[in-house]
Amino acid sequence: MATNFSKELLIKPGHKVQLRKFDPGDTLGWGKGHATKANLAKTLERLNKLQYLLYADHKHALLVVVQGLDAAGKDGTIRHVMSLVNPQGCRVTSFKIPSVEEAAHDFLWRVHQAVPPYGDIGIFNRSHYEDVLVVRVHDMVPKKVWSERYEQINEFERILHQNNVRIVKLFLHISKDEQKKRFMERIDDPDKRWKISQADFDERKFWDEYVEAYEDALTRCNTKRAPWFIIPADKKWFRNLAVSHIIVETLEEMGLKFPPATIDVKKLKWR
C-alpha cells in the first residue's frame, strides 16, 4: 500500500485548525498486521541509512519537534521510531520547567542551544511551543507576552531554516477517552505507575483550554518552511508508522549527498 504520509498528514499553511475535524483514530486505510510491521521495519532501516548520509553530507541538520497532550505517546514515538539510528548522531532534548538560569533569559535561549549541529538529527520532546501552551493555559505570563511569541517562534524557525536546519513538527493527536485509557493502564501496571501523577489528572480539567491553545499554535505557527503534521495517535502502531515515514520522506527531500573523497584512492600505497 503506497501512502505519502507527508502529503496526507500535512496541515496546509493559512488554514484555521479545528482539531475536532481530525480523527485521532484514523489509519489512512492501513491495518494492524504483518504487512504494516514489515513496512515499518523497512522504513526504519531506510531511516538508519539516511541518518548516515545526513552525517556524511554534514551541511544540513534535521530538527523534529514532538508535541502532544499528556499520554499522547511522545516518549514511545521517539523510542520506537529512532530505535535503529546511531545515537552518536541523534540527540533528544526534553524541555521541562525552566531552570533558574534558563528563566533568566528569553524563552528561546535554552531552545536555540539544543538545535542540532550539521550532520545530526535533533528531537525535541516538548519544545518552545510550551511557552504558548502550558504558559497560556495556566496564566503564567500576561496575554500580551505569550500572544507575541507566535511571531517570535516563526522568526526563530525562519532563521533555522535559512541556515540549513530542516524542521518537522509533529502533533500527536489523541482523544480524551484514549488518554484516560492510557492513564488507567499505567495505574494497573506496577512497572508504569511511576509515570502517573496527580498533576496528570489535574491537567485533564483543562482539556478544552489545551485544545484551544494547540489550535492557535498549529494555525499561527504553520509555515511552508516549518510545517505541522497532525498524527492520529490513538493507535500506537499507526502513529509510529506515520512518523517514521514523514521523517524518511523529509530526509529524502533534502538533497543529501556523500562528499567526494579527500584523497585519490588510486594513489594509495600499502606497506
Is the predicted pLDDT of residue 223 greater than 70, yes or no? yes
Query: What phi and psi, each to the nearest 5 degrees, are found at residue 114?
Result: -95, 0
Is the predicted pLDDT of residue 271 greater than 90, yes or no? no
Q: What is the CATH number of the domain that holds 182?
A: 3.40.50.300
Is 72 part of a structural domain of the chain? yes
What is the residue type of 102?
E
Structurally, the chain folds into a number of domains equal to 1
Is 15 part of a structural domain of the chain? no
- Please state the rounded mean pLDDT for residues 123-138: 97
Is 22 part of a structural domain of the chain? no
Is 216 part of a structural domain of the chain? yes
Question: What pLDDT shows up at residue 201?
Answer: 85
End-to-end Cα separation, the chain, in angstroms: 53
* DSSP secondary structure string for all residues of 27-66: -TT--SSHHHHHHHHHHHHHHHHHHHHHHHH-S-EEEEEE
Q: Which helix (H) or strand (E) holds 218?
A: helix 207-220
C-alpha to C-alpha distance for 185 and 189, rounded to whole angstroms: 6
Question: What pLDDT shows up at residue 195?
Answer: 85
Report whether 63 contacts 166 (CB < 8 A): yes
Is the predicted pLDDT of residue 1 greater than 70, yes or no? no
Question: What pLDDT shows up at residue 198?
Answer: 86
Question: What pLDDT shows up at residue 79?
Answer: 96
For 2, the grid coordinates are 503506497
For 161, the grid coordinates are 531554516
Nearest to 200 by CA among 188, 176, 181, 183: 183
- Please state the rounded mean pLDDT for residues 253-266: 89
What is the domain extent for residue 97?
A: 27-253
- Please state the rounded mean pLDDT for residues 47-76: 97
Is 260 part of a structural domain of the chain? no
Is 212 part of a structural domain of the chain? yes
What are 144-155's pLDDT values in tens digits?
Answer: 999 999 999 999
Is the predicted pLDDT of residue 222 greater than 90, yes or no? yes
What are 92-127's pLDDT values in tens digits?
Answer: 999 999 999 999 999 999 999 999 999 999 999 999
Per-residue confidence band for 200, with pLDDT thresholds at 50, 70 and 90: confident
What are 64-94's pLDDT values in tens digits?
Answer: 999 999 999 999 999 999 999 999 999 999 9
Record the pTM: 0.95
Is 144 part of a structural domain of the chain? yes
What are 7-40's pLDDT values in tens digits?
Answer: 999 999 999 999 999 999 999 999 999 999 999 9
The torsion defined by the Cα of 239, 243, 244 and 248, in degrees rounded to 10, comes to 160
What are 207-217's pLDDT values in tens digits?
Answer: 999 999 999 99
Is 4 part of a structural domain of the chain? no
